[in-house]
Structure 1
Amino acid sequence: MNRVPKKTPVYIQMHNQMREWINTREWEEGRKIPSERDLALQFDVSRMTARQAVNTLVDEGLLERRRGAGTFVALEKVRERMSGVPSFTETVERQGKQPASKLVAFHTKPASISEAEKLMIKHNEEVLIMERIRTADGIPICYEVATIPFKFVSDLSKTQITKQLFKTLEMEKGLRVERSEQTISATWASESIAEMLGIKRGSSVLRLRQVSYSQDGTPFEYVRSQYVGDRYEFFLEATKK
Protein backbone atom coordinates (compact mmCIF):
# COMPACT_ATOMS: atom_id res chain seq x y z
CA MET A 1 0.00 0.00 0.00
CA ASN A 2 1.33 3.41 -0.98
CA ARG A 3 0.54 6.41 1.15
CA VAL A 4 -0.84 9.31 -0.88
CA PRO A 5 -1.18 12.70 0.87
CA LYS A 6 -4.74 13.95 0.73
CA LYS A 7 -6.56 17.14 1.52
CA THR A 8 -9.20 17.00 4.22
CA PRO A 9 -12.49 16.03 2.51
CA VAL A 10 -15.24 18.62 2.67
CA TYR A 11 -17.57 16.36 4.68
CA ILE A 12 -14.89 15.93 7.36
CA GLN A 13 -14.39 19.70 7.54
CA MET A 14 -18.14 20.02 7.96
CA HIS A 15 -18.16 17.21 10.55
CA ASN A 16 -15.42 18.91 12.53
CA GLN A 17 -17.28 22.24 12.60
CA MET A 18 -20.57 20.70 13.71
CA ARG A 19 -18.76 18.66 16.34
CA GLU A 20 -17.23 21.87 17.65
CA TRP A 21 -20.71 23.40 17.94
CA ILE A 22 -21.81 20.37 19.95
CA ASN A 23 -18.77 20.40 22.24
CA THR A 24 -19.07 24.13 22.95
CA ARG A 25 -22.83 23.75 23.58
CA GLU A 26 -23.65 26.15 20.75
CA TRP A 27 -25.75 23.18 19.73
CA GLU A 28 -27.02 22.10 23.16
CA GLU A 29 -28.25 18.61 24.10
CA GLY A 30 -31.65 17.77 22.69
CA ARG A 31 -31.60 20.55 20.12
CA LYS A 32 -32.97 19.83 16.67
CA ILE A 33 -30.30 20.65 14.11
CA PRO A 34 -31.03 22.22 10.70
CA SER A 35 -32.20 19.92 7.92
CA GLU A 36 -29.65 18.47 5.50
CA ARG A 37 -30.96 20.90 2.88
CA ASP A 38 -30.39 23.89 5.17
CA LEU A 39 -26.96 22.61 6.23
CA ALA A 40 -26.00 22.20 2.58
CA LEU A 41 -26.96 25.81 1.94
CA GLN A 42 -25.20 27.02 5.10
CA PHE A 43 -21.93 25.27 4.22
CA ASP A 44 -22.33 25.77 0.47
CA VAL A 45 -22.03 22.02 -0.25
CA SER A 46 -24.20 19.38 -1.90
CA ARG A 47 -26.95 17.63 0.07
CA MET A 48 -25.00 14.39 -0.34
CA THR A 49 -21.99 15.96 1.38
CA ALA A 50 -24.19 17.34 4.16
CA ARG A 51 -25.79 13.93 4.64
CA GLN A 52 -22.36 12.26 4.84
CA ALA A 53 -21.22 14.72 7.51
CA VAL A 54 -24.39 14.20 9.54
CA ASN A 55 -24.09 10.41 9.18
CA THR A 56 -20.58 10.42 10.68
CA LEU A 57 -21.86 12.29 13.75
CA VAL A 58 -24.81 9.92 14.05
CA ASP A 59 -22.42 6.94 13.87
CA GLU A 60 -20.35 8.50 16.66
CA GLY A 61 -23.43 8.95 18.84
CA LEU A 62 -23.23 12.75 18.88
CA LEU A 63 -26.40 13.15 16.83
CA GLU A 64 -29.51 10.97 16.75
CA ARG A 65 -32.31 10.68 14.23
CA ARG A 66 -35.91 10.51 15.38
CA ARG A 67 -38.47 9.10 13.00
CA GLY A 68 -40.73 11.76 11.61
CA ALA A 69 -39.09 14.48 13.69
CA GLY A 70 -35.59 15.09 12.31
CA THR A 71 -32.05 14.94 13.69
CA PHE A 72 -31.13 16.08 17.21
CA VAL A 73 -28.05 16.55 19.37
CA ALA A 74 -27.90 13.34 21.40
CA LEU A 75 -28.59 13.45 25.11
CA GLU A 76 -25.87 12.16 27.43
CA LYS A 77 -26.64 8.53 28.28
CA VAL A 78 -26.21 6.48 31.42
CA ARG A 79 -23.22 4.19 30.85
CA GLU A 80 -22.40 0.78 32.32
CA ARG A 81 -19.00 -0.78 31.69
CA MET A 82 -18.86 -4.18 29.98
CA SER A 83 -15.94 -6.59 30.25
CA GLY A 84 -14.11 -8.66 27.69
CA VAL A 85 -12.91 -8.04 24.14
CA PRO A 86 -15.75 -9.00 21.79
CA SER A 87 -14.94 -10.80 18.54
CA PHE A 88 -17.66 -11.12 15.93
CA THR A 89 -15.97 -14.11 14.28
CA GLU A 90 -15.49 -16.02 17.54
CA THR A 91 -19.01 -15.20 18.72
CA VAL A 92 -20.60 -16.46 15.51
CA GLU A 93 -18.46 -19.60 15.42
CA ARG A 94 -19.45 -20.45 19.01
CA GLN A 95 -23.06 -20.45 17.79
CA GLY A 96 -22.17 -23.08 15.19
CA LYS A 97 -22.56 -20.62 12.32
CA GLN A 98 -20.23 -19.57 9.54
CA PRO A 99 -18.96 -15.97 9.79
CA ALA A 100 -18.08 -13.99 6.68
CA SER A 101 -17.53 -10.40 5.59
CA LYS A 102 -18.32 -8.37 2.50
CA LEU A 103 -16.01 -5.45 1.90
CA VAL A 104 -17.91 -2.25 1.10
CA ALA A 105 -15.07 0.31 1.10
CA PHE A 106 -11.31 0.32 1.65
CA HIS A 107 -9.39 3.60 1.42
CA THR A 108 -7.22 6.10 3.27
CA LYS A 109 -8.07 9.65 4.32
CA PRO A 110 -7.07 12.29 6.89
CA ALA A 111 -8.49 11.57 10.35
CA SER A 112 -11.43 13.60 11.55
CA ILE A 113 -11.17 15.29 14.95
CA SER A 114 -13.29 12.53 16.50
CA GLU A 115 -11.15 9.76 15.01
CA ALA A 116 -7.95 11.52 16.04
CA GLU A 117 -9.13 11.84 19.63
CA LYS A 118 -10.22 8.20 19.86
CA LEU A 119 -6.94 6.94 18.38
CA MET A 120 -4.74 9.54 20.12
CA ILE A 121 -3.17 10.70 16.87
CA LYS A 122 -2.73 14.09 15.24
CA HIS A 123 -5.66 15.74 13.52
CA ASN A 124 -5.44 15.00 9.78
CA GLU A 125 -3.02 12.10 10.26
CA GLU A 126 -3.62 9.48 7.58
CA VAL A 127 -5.95 6.64 8.57
CA LEU A 128 -7.28 3.58 6.80
CA ILE A 129 -11.05 3.21 6.53
CA MET A 130 -12.51 -0.28 6.16
CA GLU A 131 -16.27 -0.70 5.79
CA ARG A 132 -17.73 -4.21 5.93
CA ILE A 133 -21.00 -6.07 6.18
CA ARG A 134 -20.58 -8.98 8.61
CA THR A 135 -22.73 -12.07 8.09
CA ALA A 136 -23.58 -15.36 9.83
CA ASP A 137 -24.53 -18.22 7.51
CA GLY A 138 -24.97 -15.64 4.78
CA ILE A 139 -27.44 -13.50 6.76
CA PRO A 140 -26.37 -9.84 7.31
CA ILE A 141 -25.79 -9.16 10.99
CA CYS A 142 -24.00 -5.84 11.14
CA TYR A 143 -22.44 -3.02 9.19
CA GLU A 144 -19.15 -1.74 10.56
CA VAL A 145 -16.69 1.03 9.85
CA ALA A 146 -13.15 0.51 11.16
CA THR A 147 -10.61 3.33 11.37
CA ILE A 148 -6.95 2.33 11.76
CA PRO A 149 -3.88 4.61 11.87
CA PHE A 150 -2.20 4.02 8.51
CA LYS A 151 1.24 3.80 10.13
CA PHE A 152 0.26 0.43 11.64
CA VAL A 153 -0.77 -1.17 8.34
CA SER A 154 1.18 0.67 5.62
CA ASP A 155 3.27 -2.41 4.80
CA LEU A 156 0.45 -4.98 5.03
CA SER A 157 -1.55 -6.37 2.13
CA LYS A 158 -5.24 -5.76 1.67
CA THR A 159 -5.94 -9.43 2.37
CA GLN A 160 -3.98 -9.37 5.64
CA ILE A 161 -5.94 -6.34 6.81
CA THR A 162 -9.43 -7.41 5.75
CA LYS A 163 -9.21 -11.11 6.62
CA GLN A 164 -7.01 -11.40 9.70
CA LEU A 165 -6.01 -7.98 10.98
CA PHE A 166 -5.48 -8.77 14.67
CA LYS A 167 -3.62 -12.00 13.94
CA THR A 168 -1.37 -10.29 11.39
CA LEU A 169 -0.59 -7.38 13.70
CA GLU A 170 0.41 -9.79 16.45
CA MET A 171 2.54 -12.03 14.20
CA GLU A 172 4.16 -9.30 12.10
CA LYS A 173 4.47 -6.45 14.60
CA GLY A 174 4.05 -7.99 18.04
CA LEU A 175 0.95 -5.87 18.51
CA ARG A 176 -1.84 -7.71 20.30
CA VAL A 177 -5.23 -6.68 21.62
CA GLU A 178 -4.95 -6.20 25.37
CA ARG A 179 -8.27 -4.51 26.05
CA SER A 180 -11.10 -2.62 24.41
CA GLU A 181 -13.65 -0.02 25.39
CA GLN A 182 -17.21 -0.39 24.07
CA THR A 183 -20.25 1.83 24.11
CA ILE A 184 -23.62 0.38 23.06
CA SER A 185 -26.79 2.31 22.35
CA ALA A 186 -30.03 1.84 20.44
CA THR A 187 -31.04 3.62 17.25
CA TRP A 188 -32.93 2.94 14.02
CA ALA A 189 -31.67 2.05 10.58
CA SER A 190 -31.25 4.75 7.97
CA GLU A 191 -32.22 4.01 4.39
CA SER A 192 -28.67 3.13 3.33
CA ILE A 193 -27.97 0.94 6.35
CA ALA A 194 -31.32 -0.82 5.99
CA GLU A 195 -30.58 -1.63 2.36
CA MET A 196 -27.16 -3.10 3.17
CA LEU A 197 -28.51 -5.21 6.04
CA GLY A 198 -31.67 -6.34 4.25
CA ILE A 199 -34.09 -4.80 6.75
CA LYS A 200 -36.77 -2.11 6.62
CA ARG A 201 -35.85 1.52 7.06
CA GLY A 202 -36.52 2.51 10.66
CA SER A 203 -35.91 -1.00 12.02
CA SER A 204 -34.19 -1.12 15.42
CA VAL A 205 -30.41 -1.53 15.43
CA LEU A 206 -27.81 -1.69 18.18
CA ARG A 207 -24.93 0.72 17.69
CA LEU A 208 -21.54 -0.32 19.06
CA ARG A 209 -18.54 1.99 19.23
CA GLN A 210 -15.29 0.28 20.20
CA VAL A 211 -11.67 1.33 20.64
CA SER A 212 -9.09 -1.47 20.84
CA TYR A 213 -5.79 -1.02 22.67
CA SER A 214 -2.47 -2.85 22.42
CA GLN A 215 -0.50 -4.23 25.35
CA ASP A 216 1.27 -0.89 25.85
CA GLY A 217 -2.00 1.04 25.94
CA THR A 218 -1.84 2.36 22.37
CA PRO A 219 -5.23 2.63 20.64
CA PHE A 220 -4.98 1.14 17.15
CA GLU A 221 -8.54 0.58 15.94
CA TYR A 222 -11.76 2.57 16.26
CA VAL A 223 -14.87 0.72 15.09
CA ARG A 224 -18.46 1.88 14.67
CA SER A 225 -20.93 -0.95 14.09
CA GLN A 226 -24.69 -1.23 13.65
CA TYR A 227 -26.23 -4.62 14.48
CA VAL A 228 -29.68 -5.78 13.39
CA GLY A 229 -31.74 -5.65 16.58
CA ASP A 230 -33.57 -8.96 16.10
CA ARG A 231 -30.53 -10.90 14.83
CA TYR A 232 -27.90 -10.16 17.47
CA GLU A 233 -27.70 -9.51 21.20
CA PHE A 234 -24.93 -8.65 23.65
CA PHE A 235 -24.45 -10.65 26.84
CA LEU A 236 -22.85 -9.33 30.01
CA GLU A 237 -21.94 -11.51 32.97
CA ALA A 238 -21.17 -9.68 36.19
CA THR A 239 -20.16 -10.87 39.64
CA LYS A 240 -20.53 -8.99 42.90
CA LYS A 241 -17.21 -8.11 44.50
Structure 2
Amino acid sequence: MSRYREIATAIEKDIIEKKYVDKLPEQFYLADKYHTSRVTIVHALKLLSQKHLIKTVKGHGTYILSKEIPNIFLNSGTSENDGFTKHINGSGVVSSHIISFQTRKPTHDEACALNISPKEQVYDIIRQRLLDNHSAKLEYTVMPVTRIPGLNRDILHRSIYSYIQDNLGLKIGKDDRIIAADKADAYDMQYLNCRSDDPVLCVKQNAYLEDGTPFEISESRNRYDRGVLTVNNS
Protein backbone atom coordinates (compact mmCIF):
# COMPACT_ATOMS: atom_id res chain seq x y z
CA MET A 1 0.00 0.00 0.00
CA SER A 2 1.34 3.46 -0.91
CA ARG A 3 2.30 5.84 1.88
CA TYR A 4 -0.54 8.30 1.29
CA ARG A 5 -3.09 5.46 1.34
CA GLU A 6 -1.67 4.22 4.64
CA ILE A 7 -2.00 7.73 6.07
CA ALA A 8 -5.55 8.09 4.74
CA THR A 9 -6.50 4.82 6.43
CA ALA A 10 -4.89 5.94 9.70
CA ILE A 11 -6.73 9.29 9.64
CA GLU A 12 -10.02 7.54 8.79
CA LYS A 13 -9.55 5.22 11.75
CA ASP A 14 -8.95 8.22 14.02
CA ILE A 15 -12.16 9.81 12.71
CA ILE A 16 -14.15 6.64 13.45
CA GLU A 17 -12.67 6.45 16.94
CA LYS A 18 -13.50 10.15 17.42
CA LYS A 19 -9.92 11.20 18.02
CA TYR A 20 -10.75 14.01 15.60
CA VAL A 21 -14.11 15.76 15.97
CA ASP A 22 -15.51 18.46 13.65
CA LYS A 23 -12.14 19.35 12.06
CA LEU A 24 -8.82 17.74 11.22
CA PRO A 25 -5.55 19.27 12.41
CA GLU A 26 -3.62 21.52 10.02
CA GLN A 27 -1.71 19.83 7.21
CA PHE A 28 1.69 20.75 8.63
CA TYR A 29 0.72 19.02 11.91
CA LEU A 30 -0.34 15.86 10.05
CA ALA A 31 2.86 15.93 7.97
CA ASP A 32 4.91 16.13 11.15
CA LYS A 33 2.87 13.40 12.88
CA TYR A 34 3.28 10.93 10.02
CA HIS A 35 6.87 12.01 9.19
CA THR A 36 6.03 12.84 5.60
CA SER A 37 5.61 15.79 3.24
CA ARG A 38 2.57 18.03 2.93
CA VAL A 39 2.21 16.79 -0.67
CA THR A 40 1.65 13.26 0.66
CA ILE A 41 -0.87 14.60 3.19
CA VAL A 42 -2.73 16.41 0.40
CA HIS A 43 -3.00 13.11 -1.53
CA ALA A 44 -4.26 11.33 1.61
CA LEU A 45 -6.89 14.01 2.28
CA LYS A 46 -8.01 13.83 -1.35
CA LEU A 47 -8.79 10.12 -0.87
CA LEU A 48 -10.85 10.88 2.24
CA SER A 49 -12.64 13.67 0.40
CA GLN A 50 -13.55 11.26 -2.42
CA LYS A 51 -15.15 9.01 0.22
CA HIS A 52 -17.16 12.01 1.48
CA LEU A 53 -15.56 11.81 4.93
CA ILE A 54 -14.06 15.29 4.89
CA LYS A 55 -14.39 18.61 3.11
CA THR A 56 -11.60 21.18 2.82
CA VAL A 57 -12.71 24.81 2.83
CA LYS A 58 -9.99 27.13 1.58
CA GLY A 59 -8.80 29.40 4.34
CA HIS A 60 -10.88 27.64 7.01
CA GLY A 61 -9.48 24.11 7.31
CA THR A 62 -10.68 20.55 6.75
CA TYR A 63 -14.06 19.61 8.21
CA ILE A 64 -15.21 16.09 9.09
CA LEU A 65 -18.37 14.93 7.32
CA SER A 66 -18.40 11.32 8.50
CA LYS A 67 -21.49 9.81 10.08
CA GLU A 68 -21.70 8.75 13.68
CA ILE A 69 -21.23 4.99 13.59
CA PRO A 70 -21.81 2.99 16.77
CA ASN A 71 -19.56 0.19 17.96
CA ILE A 72 -20.81 -3.29 17.14
CA PHE A 73 -20.15 -6.21 19.47
CA LEU A 74 -20.48 -9.55 17.73
CA ASN A 75 -21.30 -12.66 19.73
CA SER A 76 -23.47 -15.75 19.58
CA GLY A 77 -26.16 -14.05 21.65
CA THR A 78 -26.94 -11.40 19.02
CA SER A 79 -30.67 -11.16 18.34
CA GLU A 80 -33.13 -9.18 16.25
CA ASN A 81 -33.65 -6.89 19.24
CA ASP A 82 -30.03 -5.80 18.78
CA GLY A 83 -30.80 -4.62 15.25
CA PHE A 84 -29.84 -7.87 13.55
CA THR A 85 -32.06 -10.03 11.39
CA LYS A 86 -31.17 -13.56 10.33
CA HIS A 87 -32.04 -15.99 7.57
CA ILE A 88 -30.51 -19.21 6.24
CA ASN A 89 -29.20 -19.76 2.73
CA GLY A 90 -27.00 -22.40 1.12
CA SER A 91 -23.88 -20.90 2.65
CA GLY A 92 -25.09 -20.75 6.25
CA VAL A 93 -26.86 -18.34 8.58
CA VAL A 94 -26.79 -14.81 7.16
CA SER A 95 -27.35 -11.86 9.53
CA SER A 96 -27.96 -8.26 8.58
CA HIS A 97 -27.31 -5.15 10.66
CA ILE A 98 -28.11 -1.51 9.84
CA ILE A 99 -25.11 0.60 10.74
CA SER A 100 -26.47 3.89 9.42
CA PHE A 101 -29.71 5.06 7.75
CA GLN A 102 -30.40 8.70 6.97
CA THR A 103 -31.45 11.11 4.23
CA ARG A 104 -29.32 13.93 2.84
CA LYS A 105 -28.67 15.90 -0.34
CA PRO A 106 -26.63 14.09 -3.00
CA THR A 107 -23.08 14.92 -3.99
CA HIS A 108 -22.53 16.26 -7.50
CA ASP A 109 -21.43 12.82 -8.78
CA GLU A 110 -24.39 11.08 -7.13
CA ALA A 111 -26.88 13.55 -8.60
CA CYS A 112 -25.41 13.00 -12.07
CA ALA A 113 -25.39 9.20 -11.77
CA LEU A 114 -28.98 9.11 -10.47
CA ASN A 115 -30.16 11.83 -12.89
CA ILE A 116 -31.71 13.94 -10.12
CA SER A 117 -31.50 17.54 -8.96
CA PRO A 118 -28.79 18.38 -6.39
CA LYS A 119 -31.61 19.74 -4.23
CA GLU A 120 -33.41 16.38 -3.99
CA GLN A 121 -32.97 14.04 -1.02
CA VAL A 122 -31.32 10.63 -1.17
CA TYR A 123 -31.24 7.72 1.27
CA ASP A 124 -27.74 7.03 2.61
CA ILE A 125 -27.59 3.44 3.90
CA ILE A 126 -24.76 1.40 5.39
CA ARG A 127 -25.45 -2.25 6.24
CA GLN A 128 -23.27 -5.03 7.58
CA ARG A 129 -23.73 -8.66 6.54
CA LEU A 130 -22.55 -11.57 8.67
CA LEU A 131 -22.15 -15.21 7.69
CA ASP A 132 -22.54 -17.63 10.60
CA ASN A 133 -22.07 -14.67 12.96
CA HIS A 134 -18.79 -13.59 11.31
CA SER A 135 -18.48 -10.27 9.46
CA ALA A 136 -18.51 -10.90 5.71
CA LYS A 137 -19.62 -7.77 3.84
CA LEU A 138 -20.24 -4.03 4.11
CA GLU A 139 -22.86 -2.47 1.83
CA TYR A 140 -23.09 1.25 1.03
CA THR A 141 -26.29 2.27 -0.80
CA VAL A 142 -27.61 5.59 -2.13
CA MET A 143 -31.16 5.89 -3.56
CA PRO A 144 -33.37 8.88 -4.49
CA VAL A 145 -36.17 9.39 -1.95
CA THR A 146 -38.72 10.54 -4.54
CA ARG A 147 -38.00 7.55 -6.80
CA ILE A 148 -38.09 4.93 -4.01
CA PRO A 149 -40.45 6.45 -1.42
CA GLY A 150 -41.26 4.97 1.97
CA LEU A 151 -38.05 3.14 2.87
CA ASN A 152 -37.72 2.44 6.59
CA ARG A 153 -35.64 0.23 8.87
CA ASP A 154 -38.12 -2.63 8.73
CA ILE A 155 -37.76 -2.78 4.94
CA LEU A 156 -33.98 -2.56 5.20
CA HIS A 157 -33.96 -5.60 7.47
CA ARG A 158 -35.77 -7.57 4.77
CA SER A 159 -35.29 -6.83 1.06
CA ILE A 160 -35.28 -3.41 -0.58
CA TYR A 161 -35.65 -4.98 -4.03
CA SER A 162 -38.71 -7.00 -2.97
CA TYR A 163 -40.25 -3.78 -1.60
CA ILE A 164 -39.54 -1.96 -4.88
CA GLN A 165 -41.18 -4.69 -6.97
CA ASP A 166 -43.97 -5.95 -4.70
CA ASN A 167 -45.01 -2.77 -2.89
CA LEU A 168 -44.11 0.00 -5.31
CA GLY A 169 -44.95 -2.04 -8.41
CA LEU A 170 -41.71 -1.08 -10.18
CA LYS A 171 -39.80 -3.46 -12.40
CA ILE A 172 -36.04 -3.72 -11.91
CA GLY A 173 -33.90 -3.80 -15.02
CA LYS A 174 -30.19 -4.12 -15.71
CA ASP A 175 -27.22 -2.94 -13.68
CA ASP A 176 -23.66 -1.90 -14.40
CA ARG A 177 -20.96 -3.37 -12.17
CA ILE A 178 -17.30 -2.73 -11.64
CA ILE A 179 -15.47 -5.45 -9.68
CA ALA A 180 -11.99 -4.78 -8.35
CA ALA A 181 -9.62 -5.79 -5.59
CA ASP A 182 -8.79 -3.22 -2.93
CA LYS A 183 -6.87 -2.93 0.33
CA ALA A 184 -8.84 -2.81 3.58
CA ASP A 185 -9.70 0.68 4.80
CA ALA A 186 -10.57 1.79 8.33
CA TYR A 187 -14.25 0.84 8.04
CA ASP A 188 -13.25 -2.62 6.78
CA MET A 189 -10.94 -3.05 9.75
CA GLN A 190 -13.68 -1.92 12.15
CA TYR A 191 -16.65 -3.82 10.73
CA LEU A 192 -15.14 -6.70 8.74
CA ASN A 193 -12.37 -7.41 11.25
CA CYS A 194 -9.80 -7.03 8.48
CA ARG A 195 -6.12 -6.38 8.94
CA SER A 196 -4.60 -3.41 7.12
CA ASP A 197 -2.97 -5.69 4.52
CA ASP A 198 -6.04 -7.90 3.89
CA PRO A 199 -7.51 -7.83 0.37
CA VAL A 200 -11.13 -6.79 -0.06
CA LEU A 201 -13.33 -7.51 -3.08
CA CYS A 202 -15.06 -4.25 -4.01
CA VAL A 203 -18.19 -4.30 -6.19
CA LYS A 204 -19.57 -0.96 -7.38
CA GLN A 205 -23.00 -1.02 -8.98
CA ASN A 206 -25.38 1.37 -10.73
CA ALA A 207 -28.86 -0.17 -10.93
CA TYR A 208 -31.74 0.80 -13.21
CA LEU A 209 -35.47 0.23 -13.45
CA GLU A 210 -36.81 -1.58 -16.51
CA ASP A 211 -37.38 1.73 -18.31
CA GLY A 212 -33.74 2.73 -17.80
CA THR A 213 -34.30 5.10 -14.86
CA PRO A 214 -31.40 4.89 -12.39
CA PHE A 215 -32.51 4.16 -8.83
CA GLU A 216 -29.42 2.98 -6.94
CA ILE A 217 -25.71 3.55 -6.51
CA SER A 218 -24.09 0.95 -4.30
CA GLU A 219 -20.75 -0.41 -3.22
CA SER A 220 -20.17 -3.67 -1.41
CA ARG A 221 -16.88 -4.55 0.26
CA ASN A 222 -16.41 -8.27 0.79
CA ARG A 223 -13.91 -10.16 2.92
CA TYR A 224 -11.81 -12.40 0.70
CA ASP A 225 -12.29 -15.46 2.92
CA ARG A 226 -16.04 -15.45 3.65
CA GLY A 227 -18.71 -16.20 1.09
CA VAL A 228 -18.54 -16.14 -2.71
CA LEU A 229 -19.60 -13.70 -5.40
CA THR A 230 -21.84 -14.94 -8.21
CA VAL A 231 -22.20 -12.85 -11.39
CA ASN A 232 -25.20 -13.53 -13.58
CA ASN A 233 -24.85 -12.23 -17.14
CA SER A 234 -28.32 -13.27 -18.29
The answer to whether the 8 Å contact 1:148/1:221 transfers is yes
The question of 1:94 aligning with 2:126 is answered no
Residue number in structure 1 paired with 2:202: 207
Going from structure 1 to structure 2, the CA distance change for 1:40 and 1:178 (only over 3 Å counts) comes to closer
Q: Secondary structure at the match of 1:225?
A: strand
Going from structure 1 to structure 2, the CA distance change for 1:103 and 1:156 (only over 3 Å counts) comes to closer
Q: Secondary structure at the match of 1:98?
A: strand
Residue number in structure 1 paired with 2:144: 149
1:227 to 198, 202, 222: 222
The answer to whether the 8 Å contact 2:108/2:118 transfers is yes
1:48 to 53, 64, 67: 64
The answer to whether the 8 Å contact 2:143/2:217 transfers is yes
The answer to whether the 8 Å contact 2:104/2:121 transfers is yes
The structural deviation recorded for 1:236 is 5.0
For structure 2, the 5+ residue unaligned runs are: 1-38, 47-54, 67-85
Q: What do the CA deviations read for 1:29-57 (whole angstroms, capped 9, x no partner)? A: xx9771456985756334634xx5xxxxx
Amino acid at match of 2:64: M
The answer to whether the 8 Å contact 2:121/2:145 transfers is yes
When the two structures are superposed, what TM-score results if normalisation uses the length of structure 1? 0.60
1:120 to 115, 118, 125: 115
Q: What do the CA deviations read for 1:46-74 (whole angstroms, capped 9, x no partner)? A: 4634xx5xxxxxxxxxxxxxxxxxxxxxx
Among all aligned residue pairs of Structure 1 and Structure 2, give the percentage whose two residues are the same amino acid.
Answer: 21
2:160 to 154, 157, 165: 165
RMSD (CA atoms): 3.1
Residue number in structure 2 paired with 1:133: 128
When the two structures are superposed, what TM-score results if normalisation uses the length of structure 2? 0.62
Amino acid at match of 1:48: I
Going from structure 1 to structure 2, the CA distance change for 1:238 and 1:105 (only over 3 Å counts) comes to closer
Going from structure 1 to structure 2, the CA distance change for 1:94 and 1:124 (only over 3 Å counts) comes to farther
Amino acid at match of 1:174: G
The structural deviation recorded for 1:146 is 0.4
The answer to whether the 8 Å contact 2:179/2:201 transfers is yes
Q: Give runs of aligned pairs for residues 99-114 of structure 1, distance below 5 A.
A: 99-114=94-109
Distance 1:32 1:230 in 2: 32
The question of 1:34 aligning with 2:29 is answered no
Q: Secondary structure at the match of 1:200?
A: coil
The count of corresponding residues between Structure 1 and Structure 2 is 169
Amino acid at match of 1:94: G
Amino acid at match of 2:189: A
Distance 1:132 1:195 in 2: 13
For structure 1, the 5+ residue unaligned runs are: 1-30, 53-88
